[in-house]
Amino acid sequence: MPRTMRLMLAVLGLALMSASLQAKDLAGQVKKAVEKSTLDQPGTKPFHLKAAFAPSQERDAGTNRVGEIEFWWKSPTQWRREVRSPEFHQTLIVDGNRQWQKNDGNYFPDWLRELATAIVRPVPLSADVLAKRVKSAEVLHLMGQTNINWDPVTEFGGEQENGKGYLSMMDSTGLLFYTGGPGFGGLYHDFKDFHGRKIAKTVAAGYIEVTAKITLLEDLGATPGGFFNATASGGDARPIDTVVLSEKELRKNLLPGKAFVWPALNDGPFEGVVWTEVVLDRTGKIREMFPPVADNPGVKDAAAEGFRAMQFQPFLRDGIPVQATGRISVLFRTVRPAGMEPFDSAKAYFERGRKASFLAAGASAPYHLHAEFEMGTKDGVQTGRYEDTWINSTEWRREAWFGSSHLVKSQSGDKHYVLAEGAESNLLRLVMHLLEPIPAEDTMTESDWRIRRDSVGGVKTILVFRGPVGPNGELEPGKSQGYWFDEDGHLVKSYKAGFEIRPSDEEDYGGVQVAKRIDVLKDGKLGMRITIEQIAPSDPAAAKNFRLKGHEWQRDFTDEVR
């Protein structure tokens, strides 16, 4: 093995997996972060606020999404707001249960409503609802942030409370970074103090992102008589209100229309779901639409055309037409163009490759595998070791050592465990990933992958890949990912995050072609070599060592099968 071998340790920061351990009092931390950054709540000193907004990106300058938002706020039940833009101007007064509106324009753009809300109320959920959402949420600690995602629930009546939502906090400050859910969302920067609150002076929102900058935040001074009078004359007889609906509620008013027309596609999947979010005005016409999200990106343009053609009856609340926003989805079904070579799905190639090449997927009897790996460091070539004890798909233990670092990953029944010790534990995670590099089926989206024929060292292969390619069809370094399988389904080569992984010296073990050597290259140079030293039957009694008390782990945010 060349003594000049080096592996760029900086590249070992692959996002292979991240712990998703919840803080002891995460709900309390979230509540504190939201309260710190919310102006519209009890206890806030009365304020006067002005903000100017414009598109965040120069490319969106022609959207005409410019203007001002101004608040005069005495309490959560008594305040006044004006929003001004070239296409819409609204004055809104809230006084207890009464509301007064004067609108210049028949449609209140939802991106503008969302932005105006985000400035003073980043998370428009009650404290009790928010606490329940956080306690049942997925949590990821990554790059100095705590990211929290919760799924829809059903125990509450309001769709805004029920919907899928998310928020992120900066660990260094405990303040909000971004939030989102049905009818709300924002990105927050430039926090300044206002009577003990930490208020973001820069707030961005919308899928065509608009940024509002607070130009004035001061104590509320004297206001004219009747300034907060919600019973004054001159208001609109039919105020504009916006409701957030579930898809089931949205479909109740969907009128019969033309069928969607799907194009023939070169790559699958050929059946799936495509969805979007729409905003309807008070006549039921679609006025805003989120770019469609599809299981196959190739149908997005056709889906957008079909969604735009949808028509709805007006939605009513207490007999009064309201604006409505919600998600709607359709199923698509298409085929390959005539004459195209048929391929299996990416998932099918991955599953076949796992069973053909990796003992953990294809073994028919318990085994114990011992391997060593060599890599270059500043102190020369150093050696680590790896062991895999497998009883069945739910009883196994993987273990690796390098210097003073140690990593254990195991499963016992439905419980997963991870024990990581030492500064090089991320390197050991990488070693385990290199030994079984094919992504798990439940973490991949079929539409991301393309399939074509290729060859590796004269061997005819099927290449399953995603990401950009060069002019000659080569995968783009660091941006693309690919897996080459021979005609029997064995993994011949893989490429991910700039690493090329080449298994060789295959040997049959119980019907599985196990690579006895795995070379890992970076920029064409050998950086690591993994050598399988021994495979032998395993004693089922070894399963007693698979439970690692105090190191339970929930399998989230990783594309590894084990």
Where residue 246 sits, what CATH number does that domain have? 3.30.1150.10
* Domain-ending residue, one of 311, 333, 355: 333
pLDDT at residue number 153: 52
Range from 105-109, 145-149, 246-250, 507-511 that averages highest in pLDDT: 105-109
pLDDT at residue number 162: 57
Structure tokens at 392: 């069945």
Within a domain: 230 = no
Q: Are residues 309 and 352 in the same domain?
A: no
pLDDT at residue number 154: 44
Per-residue burial over 99-137, b if 16 or more Cβ lie within 10 Å, else e, is: ebbebeeebbbbbbbbbbbbbbbbbbbeeebbbbbbeeb
Q: Are residues 366 and 305 in the same domain?
A: no
Q: Are residues 329 and 418 in the same domain?
A: no
With the C-alpha atoms ordered 337, 341, 343, 346, is the resulting torsion angle positive or negative? negative
Whether the predicted pLDDT of 368 surpasses 90 = yes
Within a domain: 154 = yes
Q: Find the distance separating the first CA and the last CA of the chain, reported in whole Å.
A: 30
- The pLDDT of 62-66, averaged and rounded, is 95
Query: Quick one: pLDDT band at residue 22, thresholds 50, 70, 90?
Result: very low
506 sits in which H/E element: strand 499-509
pLDDT at residue number 479: 87
Backbone angles phi, psi at 35, to 5 degrees: -65, -40
Q: Are 313 and 255 in contact (CB under 8 A)?
A: yes
Whether the predicted pLDDT of 72 surpasses 70 = yes
Please give the model's pTM, rounded to 2 decimal places.
0.68
- Angstrom CA distances, 255 to 208, 236, 251, 311, stand at 28, 29, 8, 6
State how far the Cα of 55 lies from the Cα of 61, in Å rounded to an integer: 6
Q: Are residues 115 and 148 in the same domain?
A: yes
- Angstrom CA distances, 551 to 136, 407, 415, 431, 437, stand at 20, 12, 10, 20, 24
* Domain-ending residue, one of 333, 357, 383: 333
pLDDT tens for 172-228 read: 999 999 999 989 999 999 999 999 999 999 999 999 999 999 999 999 999 999 999
CATH number at residue 360: 2.50.20.10
Least confident stretch, 88-92, 126-130, 432-436: 126-130
Within a domain: 140 = yes
State how far the Cα of 270 lies from the Cα of 262, in Å rounded to an integer: 10
Q: Are residues 93 and 198 in the same domain?
A: yes
Within a domain: 228 = no
Query: Quick one: pLDDT band at residue 443, thresholds 50, 70, 90?
Result: confident
Q: Are residues 453 and 488 in the same domain?
A: yes
State how far the Cα of 407 lies from the Cα of 551, in Å rounded to an integer: 12
- The pLDDT of 279-295, averaged and rounded, is 95
**Residue type for position 115:** L
The residue range of the domain holding 320 is 242-333
Strands (E), 46-96: 47-55, 67-75, 78-84, 89-95
pLDDT at residue number 245: 92
**Residue type for position 535:** I
Within a domain: 234 = no
Specify the number of domains making up the chain: 3
- Average pLDDT score, the chain: 90
Q: Are 139 and 148 in contact (CB under 8 A)?
A: yes
Q: Are residues 46 and 190 in the same domain?
A: yes
Q: What percent of the chain lies above the pLDDT cut of 70?
A: 93
Q: Are residues 413 and 543 in the same domain?
A: yes
pLDDT at residue number 340: 78
Whether the predicted pLDDT of 422 surpasses 50 = yes
Least confident stretch, 70-74, 375-379, 420-424, 475-479: 375-379
Whether the predicted pLDDT of 79 surpasses 60 = yes
Least confident stretch, 54-63, 137-146, 366-375: 137-146
Q: Who contacts 362 (Cβ-Cβ below 8 Å, separation ≥6)? A: 354, 355, 356, 510, 511, 512
pLDDT tens for 138-167 read: 888 888 899 999 876 544 334 444 578 999
Beta strand pairing call for 242-245 and 197-205: unpaired
CATH number at residue 92: 2.50.20
pLDDT at residue number 462: 96
